[in-house]
Structure 1
Amino acid sequence: MEVLTVANLSPRKGHREFLAVIKSVVQMVPESRFVFVGRDDMHGSVQQAIIDEGLAGSVDYAGFQADVSPWFRRARLFVLPSVWGEGCPTSILEAFSFGMPVIAHSIDGVPELVRHGEDGYLVQVGDPDLAIKIVELLHNPERAMLMGDAGRKKVAAHFLLQACIDQHEAVFKGLVR
């Protein structure tokens, strides 16, 4: 029951705050595992907090990975705990392309990608519902699979190169008429 976060470790990405949520999830789902993948811009403070919070057995920091596909293939769901400063997070699109549901904070451009209740969940920053939504999808793999499939279909329809070309072509044809 692996939960993946792919984001560089920086204050705006919310890893430190996410540890409190992880602690709650682990109490409800002891077999859950969390993996952080991304460059460390916080000089080891997140890794130290993982140890200090007693989460070393539940949270792995994999560091920067040039190829994140193996991590996406084995995780059940994706969480982006960013607290501010997100435009169009490509990690959400990557998660969807691997058929993973996404749980993220409802900030900046994130609600334009995640449809609450359809391909993932959106929660407010600081809302304890983040833990509840993670537990819900860990306990309900069928629901997680349906949401992930909806995300995969969205990426195929709107974000693959051919889909983007077709959308631009339609706009240009409309301008010519």
Structure 2
Amino acid sequence: MTSPSPSSSPSCPGSPTSSPGSPTSSPAAYTSADVGWLRRAVELAHDCPPSTTAFSVGAVIVDAEGRELASGHSRELAPDFHAEESALAKLAGTPVPAGATLYSSLEPCSRRASRPTPCSELVIASGIRRVVIAWREPDVFVTNCQGVRLMAESGVDVIEIPELAESARAANAHLRF
């Protein structure tokens, strides 16, 4: 699969920052292909069966050449699976190629009750060194999610494209927050 075509060029207020846990969000930090892939992740979030106890999230893993390696959404493979976990599970036994990027509609979790390993740890362990997100996890199920900080401190470049956050939130309209 080739890169989705974004319907518009990115325009992002804000500037890059170098403090750990603060994602960059400047136009130089991401490309129109990043916006297109993140839109695909947001679309996958809309495919999730709604849950009153979990967010609806979509994730896509893309190689350095812009080819989709795997995708997933919350509750796709099992009722307690998160989107990033589903996408990574589809690559089980296959090393993630250098230069791969994970696109997620929501910040990968740093804590969870339903499974032993949070998604931020799964991403770090996978060897993925670039993550693009649309929306930081709000304090609904976990207070003060630290996924971005944990990944950044482990050498993962985390980029936030906040102009897609509203679409990611729309996939979660069934939740009251």
TM-score surpassing 0.5? Answer: no
Q: Structure 1 length as normaliser, TM-score? A: 0.34
Higher relative helix content: 1
Structure showing greater Rg? 1
